[in-house]
Structure 1
C-alpha cells in the first residue's frame, strides 16, 4: 500500500502542529484530515489531559458528514479505549473516514488496537509514515510509558582530545557561545537538570535556561544535585527561580559502584516524577548514568582545542569508568545527528541497543 506525497506532507504538518500541545502524561499528537482531492479539510492536536484527542479535535472543525470518504493523517495510532474521552478509532469510523495514515503504533496496551478496529470497519490503514520523526517527538513520553522513568539526555562538552577540564580543574569555557546557546535552549526543554556536587563546587553553575541576551526562558528545569557534600550558602544555585533538590548518596555514584548505584539512580529518576531529565553534571555523574544503562540520548559538544594532562599526570577526561575491561564491552552508540555550532561540533547519539528497541 503506497503513500502519496500529499499524505507525507500532511504527516509532516501533523508532526509540526503536535508540538503545540503540552508535554506530560499524554503524548503530543497532531492530525490532518484530507479530502479525496488531497485538500486539507481540517487539522487538530491534543490540547492536554481531558481534552479531545487530535483526531476528534480535527473532526470537530467539520460539518456532520463532511469527513465521509476522507483520509485522516495522524502522528500516533488512533486509540482504542475509553478514558476521559472515547476511542478515536470509533470516532473516525462514525465520521465515515475511508483511510487512516499514522506514524507510530501506540505502545500502551490499554490504548493500542485502534488500527485493527479500523481495518475491521473497512478502513484502509497505513502505518510507519515519517516514523523516525514521530519517535523523536514522542521519545520522552514513550520512555515514560514503557520503562516507567523519565527520558534521560546526558550532555558534556570536551576538547578534541577528550578532556572536560584543564589540569587545575577549570573548564569554563571549552566551547564557544553558539554551543552554549544550544545547551540553554535544550535545558529549557527539560523538566529537570541533574548535576553532581563536584560540578556545583567547581563551577558554581546557576543551572538556569537563559537566552543569549541573558533573560530567562519561561520554562525552567528543576535543578537536582546528587552527592553528599553540602551546597554552599552562597552558591548561585540557591538563586534559581525553582529552588533545587539535593539528593545524598555520593557513594552510590562513584566510579567503582556497581548494581546498587544503578538501582539507586533508577529510583531517584522515578521519584522525580518528571518526563525529561537533562544530565550535565560532569564526568562522574555522566559516566554513572551511561554505566547504569539510563542514558537514552547523549549530546557531546566538541571544541577544536587540545588540553592534554598536567605535568604530574592530573587528567580530567570527559567520561570516566564505564565498566569496560575489554573492547567487547564497549558502549556502542548510534549517531543520530551532527551539527556545526560556530567553531564547535555537536554529536547527538543514542545507545545502539535499548529496552525500547522493539518500539523503535
Structure 2
C-alpha cells in the first residue's frame, strides 16, 4: 500500500466514508425489501404493485408514512396496526432485514474487497471504499447490482412458494430479459467466461493487461464471448433445473411437493446471471443442503423440512454470491482431469440428492396424513 493510502486509512474521513457506505447499502437493501413485501403479496394475486398505497389488510386503513419505515416502523408499532391493533406478521421486517444484510454483505464481498472473493477474475490491487471515489470499481458496482437483482427475485419466489402460490410469469420473464440483455452487452457482468483455459505461468505483462481490463472498466459492447457465456449459462441452467426438479417434472401429482411448478425457472435465471460453472455449484450445494435437512427431519415435523426447494436455492445462491471464489471449481486451479471429475460428480449427484429429498418428504407427509385420519379413540388406544 502506498504512503498516501496508508495515511488515508488512519484518517477520520476514511472511516466515515466506510461507515456511511456500509450503512447506505443496508438502508437501500431494507427499502427494497419493504417494496419486495408488496411484490410477494400482490403479484401472485394479479394486483397492481404500485397502487393503491399500502394498507392494513384487516381495517384497510392506509399505512402512514412514518409507520412505513423499513424495520423501524414495525418495531415502533410493536408489531400491531396503529388503528385496529391487529398483529402485523414478523415476516415483513424479516424480509427487510434479510435483504438489507445481504446487500451489505455483497458490497463487502464484491466491491469493498476489490473482487477478491470472485472466481477467476484477478482482484484489484487495493481494497476499501475509497476505490469508489477513484473510479476503480465501476465494474464491481455493476456486478453487485446485477447480483442483487437476481437475489431479490429468488427471495420473492421462495416466499411466494412458501405461501403455496405460483411464481408469477412476469416476475420470471422480467428477470430473464434483463439478464440476457445486460449480460450480452456488458462483459464485466460475467467474471467467469464460458471457456476457462489452464494457465501455468502468467507473465507480468498479462497481469498488467488484466488490471487495465478489469479494474474499474465498464464497457457496453456486443461481444461474441459474452453472448457465448450467456448462452452456455442458459443451457446449463435448463439442464441443472431439469435434474433438480425431475421428480416433479416426470412424476407430477396433486400431493404436496418440495418442487412446486416453475422452480426450474430459478435455476435458468441463475445460469444466465452466473454462468454455467456457478449454476452447477449452486444446484449441487442446494441439493446437498436440502437432502441433509430432509433426512434429519424425515420422521418429525419441522419448519425447515416444510420449506420449498426455492428457499434452499436462495440460501445456496447467497453463499455462491458471497464466496464464489471458494465454491467454484475451475480448470485453472485443479487441472482438466480433476475439474471434469468433480464437475461431473456434482451434476450426477444433483438428481440423486433431490430424488432422495422428495422421497423422504413424501414419506413424512404420508405418515402425517395417515395419522390425521385415525379416529381420536383409536389413537388414544394405540398410544396407551
Same-fold status (TM-score > 0.5)? no
**TM-score with structure 1 setting the length:** 0.25
Structure number with the higher strand fraction is 1
Structure number with the higher helix fraction is 2
**TM-score with structure 2 setting the length:** 0.24
